[in-house]
Structure 1
Amino acid sequence: MSKGGFERSGLEWFSSLPACLLLLAVVIFSTSSDIHNQMLRGGEQLWSGYYKLRMDPVQPTCDPDPDIDAAVEAELAASAEADDPMAALLGAEEKDPADVRLAIERSVTDCREAHRSFENLQQQLSPGVKAYRAVELFIADLIAYGLESQRFILVVLVMLCAVTATLTRHHIAMRAMETRLDYTVSHTLQTIANAMLLGSSVIFRQSTLGSDTAVSSEELLLHNFWIVGFACLTLASLYRLLRVPRDLEPGGNLNKAFLAVPLYTVMCLISGTYFALIGHASGIGIYLGKMMELSDMFLNVGLYVWVGMMLKQTRLATLVFNVFRPWRMPPELLAVVAVLVAAVPTAYTGASGIFVIAAGAVIYSELRAAGARRHLALAATAMSGSLGVVLRPCLLVVVIAYLNREVTTDELFGWGIWVFLLTATMFALVALSVNRQSEFNLAPSSEAFPAMLQALKPLVPYVLVIAAVVLFYRLALDVGVDEFSAPRLLPVIMLAILVYEHVRLKNRKGRASGEVNHQGLERSLRGATNDTTAEIGALLLLLGLSVSIGGVIERSHIMETFPQSFDSTWSAMLLMVVILVVLGMIMDAFGAVILVTATVATIAYASGIHPIHFWMVTLVAFELGYLSPPVALNHLLTRQVVGEAEVLAAQQETGTFYQRHERIIMPLIAMGISLILVAFVPLLFYGG
């Protein structure tokens, strides 16, 4: 999870430029579907029956003016020649000439209608129709190509960014590499794990070719992409192993060195060893291949990270914080406001970990600038993405509804609002009551309110830019902002904001109060994509190996050791809470949802737990798991984005036990109480 060792230079676009183009391609392909729908509607409005004009009409081959009498005689003669003597013995009746004539007259009528339709279509095929049709069919082909290439884009993006994360030492681990021993142990195990991934992919390809099922060329090409990608990743980790940086401290402790091993490496070694022992060496490759079944979801994750990194390049977050500064809030209250405000963008980024990576650095720096102590700022940053995962249009909730027919997005989002209010209240109570170290003296409203209104003015252009993009999508493409359109609409909004800042601020020099210098459109986009490549590589590889760990749990039949149903919903819920928190500690959200759907959910339903109640508990339990040691993924991601130095500085601070561990304890108290209430209070009304 450390940065360094491979400083970016003019060669940075060799990784970030392809990643930028791939992410733009995903946006274009998904937007082209909206454009195509509108073109079909527009074509129907301009030319009635346009759907018939999309292809050149084929002239009918039938004769519209036949000799009906001759046709009747020919039909009767052909029927007489084909008569079977056995048919006569069985009482079969001869064809009635009147019926034959009627049938032929109907076919002639149909034939004439077909010719008239062909002539009408020929007349409607004007040059304008042909030009419009050419564009519409091109977009249709583009959409088809985009849908077919999604899996390949995902593989290339994952491998490209994973290699970048390896070269920049940016993978997610329990601690950074500080000594030579840390570095050697970490990269040795990374190389072994990457070689294991390569071998599993090769074996999976060979077993696929050796099966009786026909293998398509696209599937074979996908296998080759995985193999080439893992080969490059293995070489990258081997290169880093042989090129030891000079800035590392000599020596080291072996126990601490193992904590510097990336989480994806640990997951790979565990799952790879398990699959090898049971004689299923292709297991990792198979479960990584399952990522392709949800390729659009994982690509959306990449888009959300990109959106967050572009947000970090803008002044938007700083301007939002400027709105609250006139009130001179104590740090604890400002932390609460920051977490509450962060809930909305979290809902649009799909999962708490994604948001922490995308905007955690901005939140931490703004809280520290406002006077928040390090532990409080770290706690708020780690929890900044935990409240919004139940709000519309969170991608994680959409995946739950997609995988489980027992619930719908409307039901989950409807109850999610109440869960959000509960968790927000708990965090506010904990932050403002436990270890509050500041006086609660807000600025007078007569002083703060006018300053707040003044601080809102710089936000007006941003609101107008966002509104313009949203209105364009609504009016031109008939697309609103929801859980399905957000992944393709948000990158466009952020690009529009970057363009606005480029035009508005390019001639400004110096640093205004509370603002950051804008470095221009190209540098901002390049900086955002540079950060995105390493973060996507670390996150998506972790997501993929998390799916593999889910496969280990599934194949080991651990869940079958538990009762498949409980007589008491209270006992069932207690077990569900424990299992779900543990899964949240060791797996990412999307991989855990897939595993829970296949295993734990069925036990919960059979035990009488309502599906909506179960999934609300699941979401809160996952968030508690991401904040719980020993892994505490959201804290690791916080360290990833704010820097190792800040976390070490916080750990060296003195005080009571709570003060020295506030960044861990505060989120645990808030989410722990919330989980207990969400899990067990509803059972008072329907539990048995």
Structure 2
Amino acid sequence: MQGAGFRRTGMEWFSSLPACLLLLAVVLFSTSSDIHNRMLQAGEAIWSGYYKLRMDPVAPTCDPARNIDAAVAAEMAKAPADDDPMAALLGAEKKDPAEVRTAIERSVANCQQAHQTYELLKDQLTPAVRAYRAVELFVADAIAFGLSSQRYILVILVMLCAVTATLTRHHIAMRAMETRLDYTVSYTIQTIANAMLLGSSAIFRQSSLGAETSVSSAELLLHDLWIVGFACLTLASLYRLIRVPEFLKEGGTLNKAFLAVPLYSGMCLISGTYFALIGHASGIGIYLGKMMELADMFLNVGLYVWVGMMLKQTRLATLVFNVFRPWRLPPEMLAVVAVLVAAVPTAYTGASGIFVIAAGAVIYSELRAAGARRQLALAATAMSGSLGVVLRPCLLVVVIAYLNREVTTDELFGWGIWVFVLTSSLFILVAMTVNRRSQFDLAPAAEAFPAMLQAVRPLIPYVLVIAGVVLFYRIALDVKMDEFSAPRLLPVILLAILVYEHVSLKKDRSRVSGELHHQGLERSVRGATNDTTAEIGALLLLLGLSVSIGGVIERSHIMQSVPQAFDSPWSAMLLMVAILVVLGMIMDAFGAVILVTATVANIAYSSGIDPIHFWMVTLVAFELGYLSPPVALNHLLARQVVGEAEILAAQQETGTFYQRHERIIMPLIAMGLSLLVVAFVPLIFYA
């Protein structure tokens, strides 16, 4: 993690304001489709046949008063004579006058019906219909524009936030930059990596222009945006390389300096070098372009991060923890409560890393405020998103079912509940036995229960605000809260909560003494967006380069060296577990699922492993990978949001080896045991 010691200036809105507008545009465009559907239903309910009124009716060109007798005579006159030898030679059929009359009568009837419909529609096209139609068609155009703009919004958002993360030293790395050597090595490699990204994108553009198939103007614009973005990113890293901060210490070693290099830079050098060696220099650009195929998913990641940063600005988390404080729970049990409660929002965000970066700071600060030691709070923060990825309506599970016909969402979510029960139970067991360092002395129920009910009261307005937004979408727009609507509903819910706090706390400041200071609506949104820009830049650039690493694995045909089927499902499962944990260490969840579907999944199926069992193992293995050194992405993300100072303070704590490394070991024990049980116990019953 980087960014320690940096303070944003008054120029912050030059990056934050555009990012805020882009995120609001994503919410607006995605909501406009719901509004449009509702408008079509309302139009049809008010004006029967509204679907036909969406366009101006065109007057029929046929004659409704056509003389049928004259038409029949004219048609029969065209018929060949009975003694015409040429007609007989050509095989022309004689016309039956009755059939000709019937056809003409039918044609005249249809013409009259068309004229009647035209007159009826013309009469129905009142000024009110025209006004309503104008608004409805405007919304339809906005939807079309929004759908076509998703890819461009994503590129601009990624590049804008990546430049911000570069300038603010906020990219995700194994350790922060502490010395001048760390700084120089880190930004030198960043500049090289950014230049490699720029070159690959430029080569990809040229190869696209030289291909046999023509390149549309839209695709060309997309290429240009990538090139301009990477050019700005290269200049930003070069600027930072030249402008060395004065507060950095002298000295340092190369080993530690290389750990300060952002992970995306290392991934870029690995994939870029590989593609260059095989004569495919445009490879990184191609795989980054594949992000555009899932533009809506990556934009949702940005929205989830924004939601988490707005959550930090509210009192909601503090009020939730206040409900449990009267019981005087020991820190270990409070950490269990935090991780279990976090499973629900994790299920909506779709990936544990997204939840950690979105809400990790809130969980850590509340656990510390409740008396939890740093190592325990950091362990719970890193693991806060690890249990909910198997619960409905996790988007990652939906992606798995979409890519694999062998499983359905109902089957995966059904077994996911049992996996959640297992992982939760093992986490509770580890936290309350191996991890326990405090006395288990709960407050008496007679004392704690009334205080808990008193603490629930301030939460009631928040519940009403959330329910109000959800019910409004359900009733007004016919949209229910699920994995598809959550990205556009959650920002609206958090904005509504901020508005409520702005109004309520402005009236009574005394009620919040000693709690989180609410700075007002504008400052809260601005602060949340400031944090969001750097986090989105760090996270999305890392996710994009992990897709490129997946391309290296795919093109190198590493998996072809593995047997395509095993005689024993036990040996196959052992190999699957090792591969899946490693993939979890180096790739984001969505990119890893795509790669596993294309490579590993068929080997597992051919070896007798049940598809549902395999994907449950995959999800748990990924989570273990995100918590496992040397990368331990969830720990890096926790460091990203908690701050380097807290990590250093935790590392200076004394005690046994386990106590000094509790934040790493505790999640490994809990998830490691869970993976062993999920992977091998079911084989006893069907293998």
Q: TM-score range by the shorter chain?
A: over 0.9
Pairing 1:289-304 to 2, within 5 Å after superposition? 289-304=289-304
Cα distance between partner residues in 2 of 1:7 and 1:231: 25
Cα distance between partner residues in 2 of 1:540 and 1:161: 9
Cα distance between partner residues in 2 of 1:472 and 1:66: 56
Cα distance between partner residues in 1 of 2:322 and 2:242: 48
- 1:509 offset after TM fit, Å? 4.2
User: Deviations along 1:145-180, whole A, 9 cap, x unmatched?
Assistant: 000000000000000000000000000000000011
Cα distance between partner residues in 2 of 1:407 and 1:136: 39
Q: Which residue of 2 aligns with 1:629?
A: 629
TM-score, length of structure 1 as denominator length: 0.98
TM-score, length of structure 2 as denominator length: 0.98
Deviates more, 1:408-417 or 1:444-453: 408-417
Pairing 1:91-490 to 2, within 5 Å after superposition? 91-490=91-490
Deviates more, 1:159-168 or 1:208-217: 208-217
Conserved? CA contact 1:322–1:514, under 8 Å? no
Q: Which residue of 2 aligns with 1:640?
A: 640
What SS class does the counterpart of residue 454 from structure 1 fall into?
A: helix
Cα distance between partner residues in 2 of 1:84 and 1:509: 105
Q: Which residue of 2 aligns with 1:570?
A: 570
Q: Which residue of 1 aligns with 2:32?
A: 32
In 2 relative to 1, CA 194–85 (structure 1 residues): closer, same or farther, beyond 3 Å?
farther
- 1:409 offset after TM fit, Å? 2.2
Deviates more, 1:457-466 or 1:407-416: 407-416
In 2 relative to 1, CA 436–4 (structure 1 residues): closer, same or farther, beyond 3 Å?
closer
Conserved? CA contact 2:435–2:666, under 8 Å? no
Cα distance between partner residues in 1 of 2:42 and 2:79: 51
Q: Which residue of 1 aligns with 2:503?
A: 503
User: Deviations along 1:473-498, whole A, 9 cap, x unmatched?
Assistant: 11101111011110000000000000
1:295 partner amino acid = A
Cα distance between partner residues in 1 of 2:405 and 2:536: 30
Deviates more, 1:470-479 or 1:96-105: 96-105
Cα distance between partner residues in 1 of 2:608 and 2:91: 65
2:164 partner amino acid = T
Conserved? CA contact 1:411–1:612, under 8 Å? yes
Q: Which residue of 2 aligns with 1:18?
A: 18
Cα distance between partner residues in 2 of 1:91 and 1:115: 38
In 2 relative to 1, CA 201–87 (structure 1 residues): closer, same or farther, beyond 3 Å?
farther
Q: Is structure 2 residue 545 aligned with structure 1 residue 545?
A: yes
Please tell me the root mean square deviation across aligned C-alpha atoms, in Å: 1.6
Cα distance between partner residues in 1 of 2:367 and 2:267: 34
- 1:574 offset after TM fit, Å? 1.4
Cα distance between partner residues in 2 of 1:300 and 1:608: 36
1:99 partner amino acid = E
Q: Which residue of 1 aligns with 2:53?
A: 53
Cα distance between partner residues in 1 of 2:130 and 2:379: 61
Structure 1 unaligned spans of 5+:
none
What SS class does the counterpart of residue 80 from structure 1 fall into?
A: coil
Cα distance between partner residues in 2 of 1:399 and 1:160: 28
What SS class does the counterpart of residue 213 from structure 2 fall into?
A: coil
Q: Which residue of 1 aligns with 2:603?
A: 603
In 2 relative to 1, CA 62–663 (structure 1 residues): closer, same or farther, beyond 3 Å?
same
What SS class does the counterpart of residue 658 from structure 2 fall into?
A: helix
Conserved? CA contact 2:505–2:512, under 8 Å? no
- 1:680 offset after TM fit, Å? 1.5
Conserved? CA contact 2:203–2:282, under 8 Å? yes
Q: Which residue of 1 aligns with 2:680?
A: 680
Conserved? CA contact 1:304–1:350, under 8 Å? no
Cα distance between partner residues in 2 of 1:482 and 1:85: 76
Cα distance between partner residues in 1 of 2:171 and 2:266: 12
Conserved? CA contact 1:6–1:167, under 8 Å? no
2:9 partner amino acid = S
Cα distance between partner residues in 2 of 1:86 and 1:581: 84
What SS class does the counterpart of residue 365 from structure 1 fall into?
A: helix
- 1:299 offset after TM fit, Å? 0.3
1:580 partner amino acid = L
In 2 relative to 1, CA 84–602 (structure 1 residues): closer, same or farther, beyond 3 Å?
farther
Conserved? CA contact 1:5–1:169, under 8 Å? no
In 2 relative to 1, CA 446–272 (structure 1 residues): closer, same or farther, beyond 3 Å?
same
User: Deviations along 1:231-268, whole A, 9 cap, x unmatched?
Assistant: 00000000000000011111210011000000000000
- 1:407 offset after TM fit, Å? 2.3
In 2 relative to 1, CA 406–87 (structure 1 residues): closer, same or farther, beyond 3 Å?
farther
2:433 partner amino acid = S
Cα distance between partner residues in 2 of 1:6 and 1:670: 35
- 1:343 offset after TM fit, Å? 0.8
Cα distance between partner residues in 2 of 1:85 and 1:630: 95
- 1:396 offset after TM fit, Å? 1.6
- 1:51 offset after TM fit, Å? 0.6
- 1:87 offset after TM fit, Å? 6.4
In 2 relative to 1, CA 672–84 (structure 1 residues): closer, same or farther, beyond 3 Å?
farther
Cα distance between partner residues in 1 of 2:147 and 2:76: 54
Structure 2 unaligned spans of 5+:
none
User: Deviations along 1:592-651, whole A, 9 cap, x unmatched?
Assistant: 111111111122222222222211111100000000000000011111111111111211
1:556 partner amino acid = S
Conserved? CA contact 2:4–2:643, under 8 Å? no
User: Deviations along 1:405-432, whole A, 9 cap, x unmatched?
Assistant: 3222222222211111111101000000
Q: Which residue of 2 aligns with 1:62?
A: 62
Percentage identity across paired residues of the two chains = 84
